Amino acid sequence: MSNEKILLLDGNSLAYRAFFALPLLTNEHGIHTNAVYGFTLMLQKIMEEENPTHMLVAFDAGKTTFRHSTFGEYKGGRQKTPPELSEQFPYVRKLIDAYGIKRYELEMYEADDIIGTLSKQADANGQQVVIVSGDKDLTQLATENTTVYITRKGITDIEKYTPAHIEEKYGLTPLQIIDMKGLMGDASDNIPGVPGVGEKTAVKLLKEHGSVENLYGALDTVSGVKLKEKLVANEEQAKMSKTLATIETSAPIEVTVDELTYSGPNMEAVVEIWKELSFRTLLEKSDFVAEEQEMTELNYNVLDEIDSSILKDQMALHLEMYDEQYHTSELLGIALSDGEDSYFIKGSTAFQSDVFCKWLEDDSKQKFLSDSKATQAVSRKHGVSILGTEFDLLLAAYIVNQSISSGDVSTLAKEFGNYNVWTDESVYGKGAKKSTPELEKLAEHAARKAQAIWQLKPTLEEKLKENEQFALYKELELPLASILGTMESDGVKVDKQILVEMGHDLEIKLQSIEQDIYALAGEKFNINSPKQLGVILFEKIGLTPIKKTKTGYSTAADVLEKLASEHEIIEQILHYRQLGKLNSTYIEGLLKEIHEEDGKIHTRYQQALTSTGRLSSINPNLQNIPVRLEEGRKIRKAFVPSQPDWVMFAADYSQIELRVLAHMSEDKNLVEAFNNDLDIHTKTAMDVFHVDAEDVTSDMRRAAKAVNFGIVYGISDYGLSQNLDITRKEAATFIEQYLNSFPGVKEYMDDIVRVAKQKGFVTTILNRRRYLPEITSSNFNLRSFAERTAMNTPIQGSAADIIKKAMIDMAGRLKDENMQTKMLLQVHDELIFEAPPEEIALLEKIVPEVMDTAIKLLVPLKVDYAFGASWYETK
């Protein structure tokens, strides 16, 4: 008996298992990773448990095997390997190589046969063998020395087949498993067996007769007329099936067991693959990486004051805040790093140093930051404007890959291969347990961030240049960050009194509607609870549910509107909802956000969040202040200029997305329509309905408008039918008519999807990217969604590029003209300013001019503007 242990793995079978057991995961480049990930987990677990001295992973080679000459339809009718899995096999092989494990495949033979041949050899040598597969056929190889592990549900749950276990489970010997397969067949390999004989019958027959051959030698003794008939009719097939199910144990392989020695992984190579595939959990858990992390030396000093000698011409700078809301958060300290040495200065003491403040304001001293907008905003709060922002890790990372999961330095650093930063959560804790750590810990945490920012600059800049996105980052996003920071810091004045009064009115109305609803329902309930409301409407009152959600009846507005004629309670509920929303989100919500000191609201723009390149606005969201309904629109009366007699000035792009579409598709009809400044919805209606301009009814224009929206969103007949409340067929006709009238648009849409499939991403006018891994998915839903996104993102994203460029130009122009006017808000296609009255005339000239010429398109851009005493009046 040898103390060697041979581990033989069925590579194809395990990769398949992993693939179907785990959800489809992808890395940032859209490569699917779930099979590789699952395979890795299996490998890790089994090696840890078994401690093998020899290892081999066997693969199937090619499509045909010697079994096909016995039976042409062997494995016939099998579904093609999904492309999401096929693309992962090269990585599985690379991974096995990195682990230092031998792998083998052989023309005309399956992985089973390689494993069978080797296990027989090893068995003869008296070596211990463990076979791992997801395929139960392999259990025929079990012997006293050989155990067969078959994966059960999931990826790490395993059933161990020894001869004893097989005896217990089926009452058969391992070799009789072959006979069992011969009789019952195997649907997945298309092995026919004897029709009508399943596992139960097969086992019973084999217990009596021992083997297929013996059974057919003694057919007379088989009880049951039907069964006997079936056996007689399928004798040839049964014998052939047995042959097919038999694993070859003397395949002409060119490796021997002795060559399979396993001497441990090359962890560096393994980690390299993990990084490439973004296996974050494994990387974090890995001792190797942890060691690597420990090995990194960090020279950092905690300073009480700043000495001019530490301030270099280039430095990474990080302001450590207690929480994300940097407008109000406590400043915990400042970290600096020059790549060699790092420093930490507690609290805001650094800002008391003249040397430091001068350094910050010196344009020739380059600062490397992460989230320059936040850094500058906090510094501004301490009376210092940072100049010389040379690098912003957050923005660079976002441009390289829009799907970065979070903005903290640790996450960003990990994303690009730097594991030397602790997560904020591990330092501060989370939820109620969140607290500031002791000084040393805090200092090292912040210093590590500064050092990582320093180290990552070259990596990120190289990637940006490689992708031809350096200009987008350096000339658009980076300068925009400063402008947004100023807008945030300036804030917008909100008249508290107006909101409070509106709130009182709303409360009174709400109470009255509430009473009406209770009376109509015959009982009190929580109107804000869709669950309780559903019970009242669809069970108590007996209305017909139109739509369901995962959790019950849908009570969404579009559903209720269809029921409005059925019962008068519906109208009341819709009104209650509308007013309730105004009161809770906009009155109470906004009141909570007004800063005591200045009576202003300071939203935060998230510049590295959306997948299209738009901004988003939080705490509070000022990009969704009501406008469509008059009752809500009144909220805008509370948004007023910060100085007496000043006015609010708002300018918006008209139809920017359709103009972008005209530009990108170069559709003649659409380009001409904009060049002639036609009403685009009326023009669309004329083409879709084949009527003259004067015969376009308001309904036709409304439908045309919906079609235009649909085109921008990535058209689908279903979506349009829902929006217009028409049948899918009618919607499909509209779309067809549209695409006939605008053939360039159709061509563009087809092209963009094709390009997305080929490259894996789509781009905007300024070369912003969005990766769309799911566009090649075999899942219809995922694929369709990605296709619509491919059509929409270049349009929405290019529109975002344009207004961002306009904001930079606008800020420059206001400065050049020495104006007092302040840019306050951006709402995707509009800019809101506050201005002294004497500057209005100039604004009327320069705002449209600057916005129109931000980026030159094939068609003109059009800007509408208005001004008044409050945001409400800018219409």
Partner DNA sequence: CTCTTCACG
Partner DNA sequence: ACGTACGTGAAGAGT
For DNA, the closer CB: 427 or 656: 656
Strands (E), 506-574: 548-549, 552-553
| Partners of 693 in beta bridges | none
For residues 170 and 203, is the Cβ–Cβ distance under 8 A?
A: yes
CB nearer to DNA: give 471 or 557.
557
Residue whose CB is less far from DNA, 96 or 590: 590
For the bound state, the minimum distance from the C-beta of residue 829 to DNA, rounded and expressed in Å, comes to 3
Could you tell me if residue 672 is left (phi over 0), alpha (psi between -120 and 50 degrees) or otherwise beta? alpha
Two tokens, residue 776: 């090649």
Q: Which residues of 628-656 are buried (b: 16+ CB within 10 A; e: fewer)?
A: eeeebebbbbbbbbbeeebbbbbbbbebb
| Cis before 620? omega within 30 | yes
337 C-beta neighbours (distance < 10 Å), count: 28
Q: How far is the CB of 602 from DNA (least distance, A)?
A: 12
For strand 492-494 and strand 769-771, is the pairing parallel, antiparallel, or unpaired?
unpaired
What is the smallest separation between the CB atom of 753 and DNA, expressed in angstroms? Answer: 13
Nearer to DNA, 310 or 574 (CB): 574
Nearer to DNA, 409 or 772 (CB): 772
User: Which residue number, 565 or 818, has a Cβ lying nearer to DNA?
Assistant: 565
Indicate the residue among 456 and 559 with the shorter CB distance to DNA: 559
Residue from 310, 329, 309 nearest 319 by CA: 329
Of 560, 557, 558, residue with least CA distance to 541: 560
Pairing of strands 366-369, 389-392: parallel
Nearest approach, Cβ of 606 to DNA (angstroms)? 5
Pick between residue 234 and residue 603 the one whose CB is nearest to DNA. Answer: 603
Looking at the Cβ atoms of 457 and 805, the one nearer to DNA is 805
Provide, rounded to whole angstroms, the least separation between the CB of residue 448 and DNA: 26
Instruction: List C-alpha distances in Å: 734 to 471, 685, 691, 693, 727.
Output: 41, 10, 14, 18, 11
Would you say 531 or 668 has its CB closer to DNA? 531
CB of 621 to DNA, least distance (A): 4
Shortest spacing between CB 419 and DNA, in angstroms: 25
Among residues 515, 521, 518, 519, which one has the least CA distance to residue 537?
521
Q: 530 or 848: whose CB is closer to DNA?
A: 530
Q: Select 343 or 538, whichever has its Cβ closest to DNA.
A: 538
Nearer to DNA, 348 or 532 (CB): 532
- Contact at 8 Å (CB) between 660 and 802? yes
CB of 677 to DNA, least distance (A): 20
Burial 491-528 (b: 16+ CB within 10 A, else e): bbbbeeebbeebbeebeebbeebeebbeeebeeeeebe
Q: Which one, 95 or 731, has the nearer CB to DNA?
A: 731
Helix, strand, coil percentages (3-state) for the chain, rounded to 5, are 55, 15, 30
CB 614 within 8 A of CB 796: yes
Give whichever of 269 and 732 is closer to DNA, judged by the CB atom. 732
CB of 626 to DNA, least distance (A): 4
d(CA 698, CA 259): 81
With CA atoms as reference, report the closest residue to 387 among 407, 370, 369, 367: 367
Count Cβ atoms below 10 Å from residue 153 Cβ, excluding itself.
Answer: 8
CB atoms within 10 A of CB 836: 16
Which token pair is 691? 């009527």
Q: Give the span between the Cα atoms of 712 and 799, in whole angstroms.
A: 12
Give the nearest distance from C-beta 778 to DNA in angstroms.
10
* Residue 417 or 626 having the CB closest to DNA: 626
Beta-carbon-side half-sphere exposure of residue 844 (alpha carbons within 13 Å): 10
Residue number, 618 or 819, with CB nearest to DNA: 618
- In angstroms, what is the C-alpha Rg of the chain? 35
State the distance between the two ends of the chain, measured CA to CA, in whole angstroms: 91
Least distance between DNA and beta carbon 670 (Å) = 17
What is the spatial distance between Cα 866 and Cα 844, in angstroms, rounded to a whole number?
9
CA distance 875 to 862: 16
Cα distance between residue 13 and residue 252, in whole Å: 22
Write down the least CB distance from residue 617 to DNA, Å: 6
User: Minimum distance between the CB of residue 590 and DNA, rounded to whole angstroms?
Assistant: 8
> Is the CB of 210 or the CB of 503 nearer to DNA?
503
Judge contact between 345 and 360, C-beta under 8 A: no
Residues 6+ apart with CB under 8 A from 111: 10, 11, 12, 13, 58, 59, 60, 105, 133
Residue 129 beta carbon to DNA: minimum distance, rounded to whole angstroms: 44
- C-alpha–C-alpha distance, residues 543 and 539, integer Å: 7
Strands 761-763 and 5-10: unpaired
Tokens found for residue 149: 């592990």
Those residues with Cβ within 8 angstroms of residue 285's Cβ, 6 or more apart along the chain or in another chain: none
Shortest gap between Cβ of 555 and DNA (angstroms)?
4
Distance CA 275, CA 270 (A): 9
Shortest spacing between CB 707 and DNA, in angstroms: 7
CB of residue 142 to DNA, shortest distance in Å? 41
Least distance (Å) between residue 702 CB and DNA: 11
